[in-house]
Amino acid sequence: MRVARLHGVGDLRLEDAPEPERAEGQTLVRVTAVGLCGSDLHWFSQGGIGDARLDRPVVPGHEFAGVGASGELDGVRVAVDPAIPCGECEMCREAHHNLCQRIAFAGQAGLDGGLAELIAWPTHLLHPLPAGLTGADGAMLEPLGVALHAWDLAHVRIGASVVVVGAGPIGLLLVQLARAAGAGRIVVVEPLAHRRDAAVSFGADVVMDPGDARNPAEWAAWGLGVDVSFEMAGVDDAITTAMLAARPGARVVLVGIPDDDRSSFRAALARRKGLTIVMVRRMKEMYPRTIRLVEQGLVDVRAVVSARYELADAPSAFEHAVARTGLKVVIGLD
């Protein structure tokens, strides 16, 4: 079978590999779609993410879906949960599987991910897709799950005002969640014009360029500020913007991952407002909820996909995604 394997910074190679052997409790999945996430781009462009480094070649891809090729799911379209928690540690016993200290994650730390024609995966982490959802739709459920987990952590009340700083794919999915959940007003801050336009199409009431948003006077129209701020960009300027926009006592939810594993902000700004800062670690068990949101038409994941590539063109797909000229890039294998 064919795989796309990352050997080093910018070094993604199409290779032949043996078909995986299915262990007990696993199902073979013929992969049909893989979305490229910002974290994939960290691995591709920088050889790591945070303090985790690429120490051996790995097949990337953790946003993926396919068709079961063995057992009871043979022929069934499925979305693949890329996180394999140990199930035994204290965090797992308390249902915080995303915080498992022994978690294995597709495309990282030597565990090959979805950019392969076939993969063997734990059957209980495969989620059948309703009729009408494509492989690309299924792949988009993972970033939607991250957005939904961030939304849960924010404790947003109906009618509250929110700001989303960074309108990449997860930010745009968060805008849709905010609209579906009854947010009062939604502000988006984003440097790229085409992503600001996309934010408006998905329900944002106001869009701003970051230069304008860093001016405290811009937020005067919001009185004391917005009720909840989501930072999605992974850069310090975005954190500052999220805090400037927040009203006293607000929550600031940090979703973005910084390039150099460090985040900083003005302590006085956060302290004097009494802000609550929340960090997001991937997601919990979101697939049943994300499937319902898409199936009911409350979130349009398909419209976030702006480019599709074949597996043979995976290196070009990564270069396209790094350039940020579109929204979500999906590599299709069917």
Considering the domain architecture, whether residues 266 and 317 belong to the same structural domain is answered as no
pLDDT at 133: 96
- The helix (run of H) or strand (run of E) holding residue 79 is strand 77-80
Does a structural domain hold residue 211? yes
Residues 30 and 48 in one domain: yes
| Gyration radius from the chain CA atoms | 20
Identify which of 43, 38, 45, 75 has the alpha carbon closest to the alpha carbon of residue 59.
Answer: 43
Q: Where are the alpha helices (DSSP H) in 216-277?
A: 236-245, 267-273
Residue 50: the pLDDT is 77
Q: In this structure, are 121 and 204 located in the same domain?
A: no
Structure tokens given for 186: 């939604």
Residue 316's domain is classified under what CATH number?
Answer: 3.90.180.10
Amino acid of residue 291: I
Same domain, 197 and 131: no
Q: Which helix (H) or strand (E) holds 193?
A: helix 193-201
CB-neighbour burial class of residue 104 (10 A; exposed 0-12, middle 13-18, buried 19+): middle
The predicted-structure confidence for 137-147, as pLDDT tens digits, reads as follows 999 999 999 99
DSSP assignment string, 288-333: HHHHHHHHTTSS-SGGGEEEEEEGGGHHHHHHHHHHTSSSEEEEE-
* 180 and 101 inside one domain: no
Mean pLDDT of 284-289: 95
Query: What's the CATH number where 244 sits?
Result: 3.40.50.720
* 12 & 120 share domain: yes
Task: Look at residue 22 and tell me if it is in a domain.
Answer: yes
190 found inside a domain: yes
Indicate whether 236 and 128 sit together in one domain: no
How does residue 289 score in pLDDT terms, banded at 50, 70 and 90? very high
Q: Does one domain contain both 160 and 71? A: no
Question: How many angstroms separate the first and last alpha carbons of the chain?
Answer: 13
Residue 14 lies in a domain: yes
From CA 100, how far away is CA 273, in angstroms rounded? 32
- 172 vs 51 pLDDT, higher one: 172
* Residue type, position 136, single letter: A
Range(s) of the domain holding residue 244:
145-279
Residue 44 within a domain: yes
149-203: per-residue pLDDT in tens? 999 999 999 999 999 999 999 999 999 999 999 999 999 999 999 999 999 999 9
**Which has the higher per-residue pLDDT, 123 or 110?**
123
Asked if the model's pLDDT at residue 221 lies above 80, the reply is no
> Taking residues 248-259, what's their average pLDDT?
95
Q: Give a yes or no: residue 130 inside a domain.
A: yes
| Domain annotation covers residue 294 | no
* 130 & 187 share domain: no
The per-residue pLDDT for 84 is 97
Taking residues 128-136, what's their average pLDDT? 96
- Answer yes or no: is pLDDT of 282 > 70: yes
Residues 97 and 168 placed together within one structural domain of the fold: no
Higher per-residue confidence, 183 vs 39: 183
- Beta bridge partners, 63, equal 35
Domain total in the chain: 2
Residue 334 has pLDDT above 60, yes or no: no
Whether residues 159 and 95 share a domain: the answer is no
- pLDDT given at position 73: 98
Q: Would you tell me how many other CB atoms lie within 10 Å of the CB of residue 252?
A: 23
Are 266 and 243 a contacting pair, CB within 8 Å?
Answer: yes
Question: Is 288 within the bounds of a domain?
Answer: no
Looking at the DSSP assignment, which residues form a beta bridge with residue 122? 26
Report the predicted TM-score, pTM, of the whole model to 2 decimal places. Answer: 0.96
Q: What is the mean pLDDT of residues 252-281?
A: 95
Side chain identity, residue 248: P
Residue 48 has pLDDT above 80, yes or no: yes
Q: E strands, 36-107, where?
A: 48-49, 52-53, 63-68, 77-80, 83-84, 104-105
Query: Which residue shows structure tokens 């492989």?
Result: 135
- Give the pLDDT mean for 49-65: 91
Same domain, 79 and 92: yes
| pLDDT of the residue at 155 | 97
Separation of alpha carbons 114 and 67, rounded Å:
12
